[in-house]
């Protein structure tokens, strides 16, 4: 059995406790994970706080920080396959996806390596003749980063990269579900040569680890990716230390298909948007909103593609859909599908968990006449697509915006003016037109509403990990007059 450790203050160590990690493909224990509790959290935060103000890190130039990030990027690229296999083993995400995604994660570290010495202050043309005034951008402080199990190396890179470029130090909490690749990533941080305490990586449960981390008095910012309910706890905890927060939360993303769209292309994008990663993606296009005149044709096309998907062992390169990450998620999706069918949704394909070892659930399509169906409202976080139709563009936009979430959206049409109208009208942080689920380190992403606030990716993310300091310099040699002498 594989045994993992925390990475705190430049050293690998066991936690105050430990727990077993389950292989989702077999439902059996495969590794032992360290469990951080309040003492481990305190040790990690204190190490990050010390590294922020003492030792080599605060003395480094921005260019030197960038060189360390370049080295880390090269190590991620060189070890992508090892990390991919660990993520597949611990989360059930298929190897063909983890391999490609982690190889691209290196580009995020390269992007922020280049940005490190491009974070600029400003000289202010102040309205006083004998004053020079500058704005300096300085690291915001010690950052708590809470990362979920799905796409964790990507979702940590969009936090770690910009925070390091800005000069912050951090404590990264990997999800208690499937933390292996992030704990292994710590070895690359160590090998890259980051000073002790700059990056600390731990794992543990919400009540005993996450809460202690978020409310720690030395935490200046909390960067969280997860669900809205946990985010509410994060925000409440931040009242203890008045830490700022950035929240990248869930989604119930609309995928709008007009009759004039290239239906084959749209169907392929829809399959990728909802069934890739077994639907366990915050940007999953889980609500298909399709023009009524082509609905039956398009749903039949999707059904054929869904039923042709190869479900199997996640470490097999031929597998297209693997297991869900946890048993509770498999059970929860089954309950939500059943409730949707009871409320009137018609099952097109799938709908029942696959018997046997592992936490498998087949690609599922539900045709929903009632917009109040649970499948159109709740985030399943699984391979379940809900379908509703429309007659007019205005109706499509209304249906798309009829959600508490606002992370991603997709529009498929050949009508350019219509596409521009929908770009403006959709209440979502991302709008993909005639494509879906595309990312780049250059482009920020984030949501509206229950999908959170703040942005990850791009220069904006690096600036979010800084705070401004205003510096006044009096340039006159004349003495400052006595303020109490009347003239």
- What are the structural domain ranges in the chain? 2-249+447-472, 254-433
Per-residue pLDDT, averaged over 116-144, amounts to 97
Q: Flag whether pLDDT at 69 surpasses 90.
A: yes
Q: Report the pLDDT value the prediction gives residue 369, as an integer from 0 to 100.
A: 79
Summary mean pLDDT of the chain? 96
Q: pLDDT band at 391, cuts 50/70/90?
A: very high
Q: Report the pLDDT value the prediction gives residue 370, as an integer from 0 to 100.
A: 75
Q: Report the pLDDT value the prediction gives residue 414, as an integer from 0 to 100.
A: 98
> CATH number for the 2-249+447-472 domain, one of 2.60.40.1930, 3.40.50.300, 3.40.605.10, 3.10.290.10?
3.40.605.10
Each residue's pLDDT tens digit, 144-192: 999 999 889 999 999 999 999 999 999 999 999 999 999 999 999 999 9
Q: Report the pLDDT value the prediction gives residue 374, as an integer from 0 to 100.
A: 87
Which among 35, 85, 87, 248 is annotated as catalytic?
A: 248
Q: Is 248 a catalytic residue?
A: yes
Q: Flag whether pLDDT at 371 surpasses 80.
A: no
Percent of the chain residues past pLDDT 70, beyond the cut: 100
- Token pair 């000073």 in the structure block, residue: 195
Each residue's pLDDT tens digit, 197-240: 999 999 999 989 999 999 999 999 999 999 999 999 999 999 99
pTM exceeds cut of 0.85: yes
Each residue's pLDDT tens digit, 454-484: 999 999 999 999 999 999 999 999 999 898 9
Each residue's pLDDT tens digit, 15-46: 999 999 999 999 999 999 999 999 999 999 99
Q: Report the pLDDT value the prediction gives residue 212, as an integer from 0 to 100.
A: 96
Contact (CB, 8 A) for 439 and 445: yes
Topology adopted by domain 254-433: Aldehyde Dehydrogenase; Chain A, domain 2 (3.40.309)
Each residue's pLDDT tens digit, 258-315: 999 999 999 999 999 999 999 999 999 999 999 999 999 999 999 999 999 999 999 9
Q: Report the pLDDT value the prediction gives residue 95, as an integer from 0 to 100.
A: 96
Q: Flag whether pLDDT at 487 surpasses 70.
A: no
């Amino acid at each position: 059995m594989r045994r993992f450790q925390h990475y705190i203050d430049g050293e690998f160590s066991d936690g105050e406790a430990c727990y077993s990690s389950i292989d989702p493909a077999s439902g059996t224990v495969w590794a032992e994970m360290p469990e951080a509790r309040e003492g481990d959290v305190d040790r990690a935060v204190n190490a990050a706080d010390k590294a922020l103000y003492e030792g080599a890190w605060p003395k480094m130039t921005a260019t030197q920080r960038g060189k360390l990030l370049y080295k880390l990027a090269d190590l991620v690229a060189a070890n992508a396959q090892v990390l991919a296999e660990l993520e597949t083993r611990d989360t059930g995400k298929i190897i063909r996806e983890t391999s490609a995604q982690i190889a691209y994660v290196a580009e995020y570290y390269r992007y922020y390596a280049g940005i490190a010495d491009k974070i600029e202050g400003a000289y202010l043309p102040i309205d006083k003749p004998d004053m020079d005034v500058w704005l300096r951008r300085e690291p915001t402080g010690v950052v708590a980063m809470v990362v979920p199990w799905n796409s964790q190396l990507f979702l940590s890179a969009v936090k770690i990269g910009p925070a390091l470029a800005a000069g912050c130090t951090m404590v990264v909490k990997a999800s208690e579900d499937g933390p292996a690749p992030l704990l292994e990533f710590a070895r690359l941080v160590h090998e890259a040569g980051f000073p002790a305490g700059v990056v600390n990586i731990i794992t543990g449960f919400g009540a005993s680890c996450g809460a202690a981390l978020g409310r720690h008095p030395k935490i200046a910012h909390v960067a969280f990716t997860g669900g809205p309910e946990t985010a509410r706890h994060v925000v409440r905890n931040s009242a203890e230390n008045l830490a700022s927060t950035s929240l990248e939360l869930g989604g119930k993303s609309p995928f709008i298909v007009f009759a004039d769209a290239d239906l084959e292309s749209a169907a392929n994008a829809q399959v990728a948007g909802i069934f890739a990663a077994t639907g366990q993606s915050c940007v999953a296009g889980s609500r298909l909103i399709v023009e009524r005149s082509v609905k039956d044709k398009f749903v039949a096309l999707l059904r054929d593609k869904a039923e042709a998907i190869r479900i199997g062992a996640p470490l097999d390169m031929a597998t297209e859909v693997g297991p869900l990450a946890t048993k509770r998620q498999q059970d929860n999706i089954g309950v939500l599908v059943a409730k949707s069918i009871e409320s009137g949704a018609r099952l097109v394909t799938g709908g029942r968990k696959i018997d046997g070892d592992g936490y498998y659930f087949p690609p599922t399509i539900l045709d929903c006449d009632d917009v109040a169906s649970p499948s159109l409202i709740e985030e399943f976080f699984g391979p379940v697509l809900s379908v509703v139709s429309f007659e007019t563009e205005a109706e499509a936009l209304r249906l798309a915006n009829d959600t508490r979430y606002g992370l991603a959206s997709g529009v498929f049409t050949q009508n350019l003016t219509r596409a521009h109208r929908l770009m403006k009208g959709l209440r979502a942080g991302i709008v993909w037109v005639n494509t879906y689920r595309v990312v780049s380190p250059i482009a920020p992403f984030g949501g509206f509403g229950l999908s959170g606030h703040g942005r990850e990716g791009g220069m904006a993310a690096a600036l979010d990990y800084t705070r401004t300091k205003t510096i006044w310099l009096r340039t006159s040699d004349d003495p400052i007059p006595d303020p109490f002498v009347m003239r």
